[in-house]
Chain A
Amino acid sequence: MSKTVKDAIETIPTDEINSISLSLVRSEILTKVIEYCKKHNSAQMSDVDLMDWDVEFANVHYTTLFDLVLSANYMNINCLLDLVCGKIADMIKGKTPGEIAKLFDIKDVSTYEEDN
């Protein structure tokens, strides 16, 4: 599922594999990622149930979502990346620019009116 891991496995000779370096991913996040991959790889759940599971999975504090985006991006897991990006977009929907900037602690909020 992870292209990064797949590439790593393919390039390193089999008998030398002990560990694959994923130094940028914190252990708690890696646990979540592994949980996601395991669930999506097992063929046991129906599509609908899997979608419900995804919704539950992504129902976390937004800082965890950010970590998941960065990790899924680093590990090249596109379906997980889509899921968490979509969830963050849901949090942006319906908010005013001021609310978005405050919620996500965005700096550099000067707009064109303030420049002129």
Chain B
Amino acid sequence: MADETSWISHYDDDTRKETQDIDSLSEPGEEVDKDGTVISLDIMTDDLLDRILAYLPVESIFRASSVSKRWFSIVTSESFSWNPSNSPPQKPWYFMFTSSDEPTGCAYDPNLRKWYCIELPFIGTSNWIISSSYGLVCFMDSSRVLYMCNPITKRCKKLQEPYGLRFSDYGALAMSVDKESHSYILAIVKSKQVPENFSQWDISIHVYKSEEETWATPLTEVLIGWRGGEESVICNGVLYFLVYFTGGVPSESRHALVAYNVSGRASQASLRRSFISVPCSLTCGRLMNMKEKLVMVGGIGKHDRPDIIKGIGIWVLHDRKWEEIVRMPHKYFQGFGEFDEVFASSGKDDLIYIQSYGSPALLTFDMKVKQWKWSQKCPVTKRFPLQLFSGFCFEPRLKIAP
């Protein structure tokens, strides 16, 4: 097996040290027993191998899945006897990639503070819109092609996109996986400028149910002076997306949040009536589902120059009101160096990731203990001035397939 295609590339010396500490009887090369025959672990039956692998801690389980096809099928099978509740809950990982021709990116594991190189089948140079939930990640590219994938097992499936999606100006993607059944819903918010009237936008919401493998379009509406963008998330059965003021009569705020119920059958009032204002003037907003609560990480604009960022804040939505959780301390804000008014941010459970598009520096905020922390240095470095970095947060899970 060639090392270049192995799932894990080690940047952390601790693991090498750990290997050397193990009893000398287990060094590679000593495979021959007293009679001179070589014995392979392949002689174990599946249930014995299952029993052995069930003793491994979670990070070793991920590696075990890459050893061979047989090991992969054992650890990803439904009947694998490893009990995840025996190991501590995993913080979500962050996958970072750069605008180059290589299909590799690096995934950060905050539990062990390690970076792993992962090759995703199609990252390439596309501008991806990404949403993830419960171990699955959905990618939508600029030509509106859709893929559903598990970045750990690398299983990937192309999804049929809704009719007319390729002709939209903006598209936002959100998904939600049902933890029990592993079925999921996808929502796409499409915005298209009305050709005869530039301040009018055709907004449509498209919903996909994996169990039925069909798309439905429960809502279309024309908004005046507002358009959708690329930011949306589903929390607790509600689709939230950001809308942007496009001019006309000057308005106080350039952003607003829209809530749309994707789970219920009750028809809802118009989108315009369900606008929720943002807590302050933002340069950009990033939405995320943190334990089924809507959290927004926003760039705070200056009073006189709302397009220039002066800080970053984190808010949580309670009913239709925002509560401020924290503002990024100045030293972290400065630690990014040059910070554009737009940046990448995503999070899951209790952990939020923030990164600047211009560098691979990655900052985390733990909502539970209210702590800011830089990640370990990313192995990807900036090689030319205009190089861009982006990423997304996901939960590493073995047992879910697209």
Contacts and interface: CB of A to CB of B under 8 A. Distances in A.
A103 B208 CA distance: 46
Contact of A101 (B8, B60, B67): B67
Contact of B48 (A59, A69, A100): A69
Contacts of A59: 23, 25
B25 A97 contact: no
A64 B26 CA distance: 12
Contacts of B38: 105
B33 A106 contact: no
Contacts of A107: 40, 42, 68
Interface residues of A, number: 41
A109 B68 contact: yes
A52 to B, nearest CB: 16
A99 interface: yes
B70 to A, nearest CB: 6
A112 B155 CA distance: 9
Interface residues of B, number: 48
B39 A109 contact: no
The dominant DSSP class at the A interface is: helix
11 contacts: A59-B25, A60-B25, A66-B39, A66-B41, A73-B48, A89-B54, A93-B60, A97-B63, A108-B42, A111-B72, A116-B121
Interface in B291-338: none
Contacts, number: 130
A102 B39 CA distance: 12
Contact of A103 (B2, B26, B33, B52): B26
A108 B70 contact: yes
A91 B26 contact: yes
A103 B55 CA distance: 18
B301 to A, nearest CB: 45
Nearest to A111: B66
Given A105-B40, A107-B42, A113-B5, A94 B69 contact: no
Contact of A111 (B7, B19, B45): B7
A62 B25 contact: yes
A62 B55 contact: no
Contact of A106 (B7, B30, B41, B57): B41
Contacts of B31: 103-105
B6 A102 contact: no
A110 B1 contact: yes
A105 B66 CA distance: 15
Contacts of A100: 63-64, 67
A63 B33 CA distance: 7
Interface in A40-84: 59-64, 66, 69-70, 73, 81
A88 interface: yes
Contacts of A103: 26, 28, 31
Identify the 3 closest CB pairs spanning chains A and B, nearest first: A89-B55, A104-B41, A105-B40
Interface of B: 1-3, 5-8, 10, 15, 18-19, 22-23, 25-26, 28, 30-31, 33, 38-45, 48, 51-57, 60, 63-64, 66-72, 119, 121, 154
B44 A69 contact: yes
B60 A97 contact: no
B56 A89 contact: yes
A92 B40 contact: no
Given A89-B55, A103-B26, A109-B68, 11 more contacts: A85-B54, A92-B64, A94-B18, A94-B22, A94-B60, A97-B66, A99-B28, A100-B63, A104-B31, A111-B72, A114-B1
B22 to A, nearest CB: 7
Contact of B60 (A66, A70, A92): A92
B56 A98 contact: no
A59 B24 CA distance: 11
Given A66-B44, A89-B56, A107-B42, A98 B22 contact: no
Contacts of B23: 59
Given A61-B33, A89-B56, A111-B66, A96 B10 contact: yes
A95 interface: yes
Nearest to B53: A89
Contacts of A64: 33
A100 B64 CA distance: 8
Nearest to B30: A61
